[in-house]
Structure 1
């Protein structure tokens, strides 16, 4: 199952490298977050959501689509 971040990158074509740099984290760390292999620190989750013009709840909230 694709994560919401994976879907977002696929749909928009914006690179993971671009968002990682914008947020201020390594590409490797961001890749792990995108794949769902790790959960970001709260501060980074907020930065990622802002960079994607969405909310933390939208990206990681537990709700039905």
Structure 2
């Protein structure tokens, strides 16, 4: 299991952005690149899990130490 490295503000922003992109997929039915909205799954998943693989690779940690 991945270590938690995403803080509360970061998690909230990721969930909001992810949900907005996924909503765009369903609301913008005439877009040529409609499938691109599905990239919102990534920030939504990392926001819900509280762990980001890219942050682990780069060495960033926005989660406060306990």
TM-score calculated relative to the size of structure 1: 0.33
